[in-house]
Amino acid sequence: MPPMRRPSRPRPASRSRRSQSRTVRALRLASGLVIAVYAVAHLVNHALGVFSIDAQEALLDVLRPVWWSWPGTILLYGAFIVHGLLGLYALWRRQTLRMPAWELVQLVLGLSVPLLLIPHVFATRVSADIAGTDATYHAVIAGIFRNTGAMVRQPILVIIVAIHLAIGLHYWLRLRDGYRRSLRVVYPIAVMLPVVALLGFYGAGIQLRTAKANGTPEADDSAASDPQAAATVATRAELALWSYVALLVAVAGGRAARRMLSTRRGAYRIRHASGREITAPIGYTLLEALRDAGIEHASVCGGRARCTTCRVRVDEGAAVLPPPTPLELAALTRIRAERDVRLACQLRPARDLRITPLVPPHVTAATIDAVRMPGRERSVAVMFVDMRESSRLGEHRMPYDVFFILNRFFAELASALRDTGGYYSTFNGDGLMALYGTATDLRQGCRDAMRGAIAIAERLSRIGAMLAADLGEPLRVGISIHAGVAIVGTMGPPATPLLSALGDTVNVAARLEAETKVRGCMLVISEACATAADIDLGAFPRHTVQIRGRSEPVTYHAIADPAALATLVTRNTAIAR
């Protein structure tokens, strides 16, 4: 029988489409960052009102020359216009409004910002330029506090901008290294800044009212000295507001008309690995079609080809699919995907196809690094952990108590793996298999696995101390670590696949775990793992075992307490760095 040929990778899309995609992404990012800088500075300026309105004026005197200069004006208002138009374009491009909650919130809030921002901009900056009004904090806040509508509109604008900004920055940065570690600092600031800004806004208003009541002269008149100029500003503000509303209605109406016309262009059928079969109009991306049908599908980046979590294997129909976009091709090349793997967020089929999702639908940014690899050979460190005498837990305990202890046990194991770069792969009732080195080289993976064993031992001691009265005797485990080449990839039920590994390396690691019982120790590390980690374990007893199904024996080191490895692993890691 001749070998099966892989479907050839289609040629990438044209240069014009590549240029368009890159331009849109670059404009969205650049304009968003300009607005972010301005918004954060503006919120900080508002927040100073908790001290005094004079403090607000002092910072405004520093910021005004930047944003009111010609370069600053062009940069800022150009960013507002570009970002607003790109929001309308994003609404237009979407074939369906079924999307994750965060995407919907970001889209709706982004489209609503101009409705609240346009009156504020014309009442301040434009009015100052045309009607000669005073745009200081004294004048603007006094004018807002005289207008009930403005008093309601301004806090809503601050809240909407803050939420839209936080969502945008979070989903732009969350796939980047170090971002999750910085959240403990960034998150409190993101929450407190708009709150303090609103307190400062109202504090300044109360200060002005108090000063006015006491007869203290304050610049509280922001009205134009020329009624005709004021009328001109009001007319232009209304024109700008209704122009945006008209654009919004036109895009919404255009989407409805396009949806009606799309039914005339035909449809394609999708046979999902779950057994469901759906149809979608030609023009829908695969991700849009799945969402429109209510089928959950992973998409950590929101369908922007910044990740590969939406990827699918095209089991039938790959040969007649349209070529990948440059963004899709770059993403698939980065993970060395097979030729029948495509990104659902970028693929727009025109013919029937059958697909298998390769990532669980509920994957998050925290686990994206562990699931972005298709099945392939890879050198990894494999760890097996097994609880000793777990069946005795239920002899004198209620089922609820047993489940409580086991859940606490696995929660601590998962925490230890997460903190040391391991991936919780499979669970078998009273034990688990973990993988190290899925995102690093083998040496680092082996060292991380040793650190993982140390962390597990520490957490078991913690559980034992906290549950001493309930346990009677400490929980004991056996841990084995082996390293070598394995087939690593997602496997399991189509709806909930997991990253796992197969092969001789996994079998050896599993059999070595039994050696912890033979040697009466907590940890067994194979000589292959020690060699790969470049760590000398000669201080620990060395043994050899013949494993069934293998012609060559396996050499390993028995370690009674993983804590004895701490100094050795730390020293060698420091030397390597």
Q: Is residue 1 part of a domain?
A: no
CATH number of the domain enclosing 57: 1.20.1300
Helix and strand numbers, DSSP H then E, in the chain: 18, 13
In terms of residue numbers, what domain contains 218?
A: 15-260
Same domain, 209 and 319: no
449 and 513 assigned to the same domain = yes
pLDDT attached to residue 5: 39
Residue 182's φ and ψ, nearest 5 degrees, are -80, -10
At residue 218, the pLDDT reads 52
Domain identity same for 252 and 271: no
Q: Where residue 571 sits, what CATH number does that domain have?
A: 3.30.70.1230
Residue 302 pLDDT exceeds 80 = no
Tokens 């050979």 belong to 377
For residues 22 and 460, which has the higher predicted lDDT (pLDDT)?
460
DSSP string across 92-142: HH-S-----HHHHHHHHHHHHHHHHHHHHHIIIIIHHHHT----SHHHHHH
For residues 414-433, average pLDDT: 84
332 and 188 together in one domain: no
Query: In whole angstroms, what is the distance from residue 528 CA to residue 381 CA?
Result: 10
Would you say residue 72 lies in a domain? yes
CATH of the domain at 339: 3.10.20.30
pLDDT greater than 60 at residue 16:
no
Q: Is 132 left (phi over 0), alpha (psi -120 to 50) or beta?
A: left
pTM summary value: 0.56
Give yes or no: residues 279 and 181 share one domain: no
Q: Give the model's confidence band at 33: pLDDT under 50 very low, under 70 low, under 90 confident, else very high.
A: very high
| pLDDT cut 70: percent of the chain above it | 86
- For 318-342, what is the mean pLDDT? 84
Mind listing the pLDDT tens digit for each residue in 81-91? 999 999 998 88
pLDDT tens-digit profile of 125-182? 888 888 777 788 888 888 888 888 888 898 999 999 999 999 888 888 876 767 777 8
282 in the same domain as 404: no
Q: What is the pLDDT of residues 245-255, one digit of tens each?
A: 999 999 988 88
Q: Is residue 540 part of a domain?
A: yes
Order across the sheet with 267-272: list the strands. 277-281, 267-272, 353-357, 311-316, 341-343
Same domain, 394 and 432: yes
- The verdict on 96 and 157 lying in the same domain is yes
Taking only the tens place, the pLDDT of each residue in 225-234 is 567 877 888 8
- Is residue 130 a part of any domain in this protein? yes
Query: CA–CA distance from 148 to each of 153, 157, 218, 256 (Å)?
Result: 9, 15, 20, 37
Task: Examine residue 4 and state whether it is found in any structural domain, yes or no.
Answer: no
The answer, yes or no, to whether residue 215 has pLDDT greater than 50, is yes
Distances (CA, A) of 519 to 42, 249, 473, 527, 556: 66, 75, 20, 16, 11
Check whether residue 128 and residue 173 sit in a common domain.
Answer: yes
Same domain, 134 and 31: yes
Asked which of 357, 386, 405 is the last residue of a domain, the reply is 357
Domain termination site, one of 260, 287, 311: 260
Residue 143 lies in a domain: yes
Q: Is residue 439, in this structure, part of any structural domain at all?
A: yes
- When divided into structural domains, the chain yields a total of 3
Residue 370 lies in a domain: no
Q: How far is Cα of residue 246 from the mean position of the Cα atoms in its chain?
A: 34
Show which of 304, 323, 357 is a domain's final residue: 357
In a shared domain, residues 250 and 337 = no
pLDDT of residue 194: 93
The answer to whether the CB of 513 falls within 8 A of the CB of 547 is no
- 436 and 543: one domain? yes
